[in-house]
Amino acid sequence: MENTGTGNRSLSSEEQIGILENHEGKHKNIPGYREKLFENGLYPLTSTKVELMQINVGKLCNQKCTHCHVDAGPHRTEIMTRETMQHCLNAMNKNGIRKVDITGGAPEMNPGFRWFVEECYRSGIEVMVRCNLTILTGDNRYADLPDFYAGHKVHLVCSLPYYSSDKTDQVRGDGVFSKSIQALKMLNLAGYGDMDKNLVLDLVYNPGGAVLPEPQKCLENQFRKILLDKFGIRFNSLYALTNMPVSRFLKYLVDSRNYEEYMELLSGAYNPCAAKKAMCRNMISVGWDGYLYDCDFNQMLDLRIYSEYNHISNFNLESLEKREIILNQHCFGCAAGEGSSCGGATDL
């Protein structure tokens, strides 16, 4: 693909959608995702049952990773208010949704984060938190989080791009790997990764470029052996996630002229079984401003659900469980190979 000269600026949602939908024009080697579903009798793709609410509590983050589909970073000001969090809590309690996936940015940087975790725990809602690990090590305000998490039985899903410093720091910045190892040791000390204590610590791997991840089980075995042998670190499971052609990674693909090749790679690895089990079918995604989406990726493309009940303040479960999922070319990322759903939720 020709270089569009985007420079250092972020791509708008309109620009991203324009790039993704261009398969019908200039990039004819890339099939349409909807057409692939139709071939397998999966189109239109509809919701099954909303069992999980994924909540993006803001785009503020202490890191600025090259693959981040949220375009998060220290400069972002989008933060979910406590009022919106209360709406989320009300909707889950009223409708029997017993699992929440809290993400960001670095969700811990939202001022209402601990309050929200405590309220969910008090309501009997299973809490999953997406943690980038380094948030635990660089600021004393967050140093007690391992014990806070353990005390509230939080299921942690932590991003570790690789088990070596070179590949990790390449994606996340100098020194990130050593800080991540320090954070994992802190979590192990709090009881995470110990199978007898029921404190779940899962890791997430993303490849460092425009390639598909290696088979998940093979990677998990590698991570488990090396992290234990070299650092004494234990964890429960590892998820290998495909880099989604959205936001910052989409911009990288365009500027590096890798877009068409990567999309051909994703579409060539299309797996109808993975498409059928996509996370969007049993969850609802809530943006920092309370608007509702099929998934976190649609959220970043500003593709709100097709419903008059598209805000958490007027949450209507009956309507949401009958909805048609909004699709575009980025959906190939969740349907490539083994799929890219992590515990019913998305990439960090």
Do 22 and 72 meet the contact criterion of CB atoms below 8 Å apart?
no
Per-residue exposure over 90-127, b if at least 16 CB sit within 10 Å of its own CB, e if not: ebbeebebebbbbbbbbbbbbebbeebbebbbeeebeb
Q: Where are the domains of the chain?
A: 48-253+284-320
- Note the CATH number of domain 48-253+284-320: 3.20.20.70
How far does CA 186 lie from the centroid of its chain?
A: 23
**pLDDT of res. 113:** 98
Q: Which amino acid is at 40?
A: N
Q: Is 261 exposed, middle or buried (0-12, 13-18, 19+ CB in 10 A)?
A: middle
**pLDDT of res. 192:** 98
Nearest to 167 by CA among 177, 158, 159, 157: 177
Distance between CA 156 and CA 128 in Å, rounded? Answer: 6
Q: List the helix and strand counts (H, then E) for the chain.
A: 14, 8
Per-residue exposure over 50-78, b if at least 16 CB sit within 10 Å of its own CB, e if not: bebbbbbbbbbbbbebbbbbbbbbeebeb
**Tens digits of residue pLDDT in 198-242:** 999 999 998 888 999 999 999 999 999 999 999 999 999 999 999
Structure pTM? 0.94
The lowest-confidence range among 2-11, 75-84, 119-128 is: 2-11
Q: Which one is predicted more confidently, 66 or 310?
A: 310
**Tens digits of residue pLDDT in 43-95:** 999 999 999 999 999 999 999 887 788 889 999 999 999 999 999 999 999 99
**Tens digits of residue pLDDT in 164-200:** 999 888 888 899 999 999 999 999 999 999 888 899 9
First-to-final CA distance of the chain: 27
In the chain, pLDDT over 70 holds for what percent of residues?
94
Count the Cβ atoms, other than its own, within 10 Å of residue 281.
21
pLDDT bracket for residue 344 (50, 70, 90): very low
